[in-house]
Structure 1
Amino acid sequence: MRTSKISAVAFAILCTATGLASPALADDPPPGDPPPPPAFNVRYTVTADQPVNAEIYFRDTDPPTFSDYSHDPYVFSPNVEATVGPDRPWVLEATLTDPMQWGMVLVQAQSSLGAVPKASAGFNCTMAINGIVVKQDSGPKGALCSLRNW
């Protein structure tokens, strides 16, 4: 048992002397620095009751400040066009430090030449944080999943 303790101490001294560190130690902040904020995995899923072309807005980045967001929200809310359906989900995984504030996915029917489709698509969205579904919404022409009241 004593040999193990000496070996562990010798290994630690060798690592320190040579500048080697374990990956866990290498990621630690320097003493006195605040630890980085925790990161959360946010998974957005969008489907529709029938195949439809959709426009999807989402947040995959935390704005540095609310004023940065409010001055140009579209910088922090990119959008994609996708065909979704019951067997064709759109899924995006993002990492946010404050998903309660910034997590959001919005889906609506993609307009063609400015006209909104007459038939309802039956959109559905789900937002999960670290694997736990925290919000679901459905609507005939759109759906919004967000924990913040926008």
Structure 2
Amino acid sequence: MGRTWLAALLAAWCLLGVSAHADTPVPHEIVYTVTTESPVAADIYYRETDPPTWADYSHNPYEFSPKVRVDVGPGNPWVFHATLVDPQRWAMVTATSGRSPGEPRFRCELKVDGAVVATADGPKGALCALRHW
């Protein structure tokens, strides 16, 4: 009886180990790139961490979406590397020139694990994401 109990305990332990391993989130390398055809001071919001829950995000989206104001132009892209567990849900970069005059022609690119998964362009701004915001 002792050996049977020990074998059952070991089997259960192995199953728990496999289950715990299967639930371990896999981080993904995210690369956001923003370019423009003419120089501009751009406002860029991006997601660099996964919010713990949708409720946390919706309560304060700016806590999880930092903003930078940077000079972007031909030969001067803005590139940011992040790590997200759920890029399908959270990967996002958006850039705009706001009320600045002119149309700098924005282009954004979103890569997940080295593969381009989203691109967008626009005269005064662009949004790249995997989900529809």
Q: TM range, normalised to the smaller chain?
A: 0.7 to 0.9
Give me the CA root mean square deviation: 1.3
- 2:132 aligned partner: 149
1:86 shift after superposition: 1.6
Q: Which residue of 1 aligns with 2:60?
A: 72
Task: Provide the secondary structure at the position in 1 that maps to 2:42.
Answer: strand
Q: Please show how residues 7-22 of structure 1 align to structure 2 within 5 Å.
A: none
For residues 83 and 102 of structure 1, what CA distance do their matches in structure 2 show? 25
In 1, Cα distance between equivalents of 2:102 and 2:112 = 32
Distance 1:31 1:126 in 2: 39
What is the match of residue 43 of structure 1?
Answer: 31
Runs of 4+ in structure 1 displaced over 6 angstroms? Answer: none
Q: Distance in 2 between matches of 1:93 and 1:117?
A: 27
Spell out, residue by residue over 1:65-120, the C-alpha distance to the aligned partner (whole angstroms, 9 max, x if none).
000000000000001010001200000010000001000000001x5xxxx12210
Partner in structure 1 of residue 106 of structure 2: 123
Cα displacement (A) at 1:31: 3.1
User: TM-score of the superposition, structure 1-length normalised?
Assistant: 0.74
Aligned twin of 1:25 = none
Q: Percent identity?
A: 47
Higher radius of gyration, 1 or 2:
1
Residues in 1 aligned to 2:19 and 2:72: alpha-carbon distance in whole angstroms = 45
Amino acid at match of 1:84: V
The CA deviation string for residues 26-83 of structure 1, in whole angstroms up to 9 with x for no partner, is: xxxx936623201100000001000110000000100000000000000000010100
Residue equivalent to 2:84: 96
Aligned to 1:82: 70
Question: SS of the residue aligned with 2:108?
Answer: strand
Query: In the alignment, residue 124 of structure 1 is paired with which amino acid?
Result: R
Aligned length: 116
TM-score, with normalisation over the residues of structure 2?
A: 0.83
Is residue 34 from structure 1 mapped to residue 20 from structure 2 by the alignment?
yes
- The 1-side partners of 2:74 and 2:51 are apart by 32
